[in-house]
Amino acid sequence: ESSVNKDVLGVKPGNVLVTVRDYNTLSHLRWVLERTDTDEQDVVVLSARMTGPGSAEYDLSTEQIFSDYEQKLFTETVKVAEKVGKTISLVVVPARDPFSAIIQTANELESSAIVAGLSSKMTAEEQAYRLGQAWEAIPGQKRQIVFQVVRPDETVATFRIGPHTPDIKTEDVHLIHRLWLKMRKSPG
């Protein structure tokens, strides 16, 4: 299809978008599938197919978007889903910037969460920062989304993308309260 949205893909709003890039590192997909009731919440597996400069001038053929590599990647993702006994939806999108492709797809699909494996080149925090930058660049209506990075040891870093209340430690809340009380005692 020329565009990706929840109706074209046949998924419900609130789905989980799982990014994949390397068929040897799909433990984050298994992690999602083990924790998701796919009868209630759809799981969409996304591969952002990197395209070079100048390629946007011409329509890409199916072979250019869905190469042998994507075929192998999706074969392995389906194997993971079958082992867990769950269904998934698969999508490939051409992209110059993977973070823009991920966040735009999540926004179009009305995803509630994006889950990725830990990058070999970036920390989880850097991945979240780049995704947040891409979120800020989207024009129009945007949804707040949870971004989770699943490390190989299955520890998870969770970030909120979009406007949200900050995560504040209990001791920081108490400090703010004490400062507020002091300020109230000494107006001006």
pLDDT at 67: 76
Segment-wise mean pLDDT, segments of 10 residues, the chain, 188 residues: 79 96 95 96 93 53 66 95 96 92 95 96 97 94 94 95 82 90 84
- Strand arrangement of the beta sheet that strand 89-95 belongs to: 89-95, 43-50, 16-19, 113-117, 145-150, 156-161
Q: Say whether 92 sits in a helix, a strand or coil.
A: strand
Q: Which of 109, 97, 117 is nearest to 32 (CA)?
A: 117
pLDDT at position 165 is 75
Helix axes 98-109, 124-137, angle to 10 degrees: 60
CA 164 to chain centre: 17
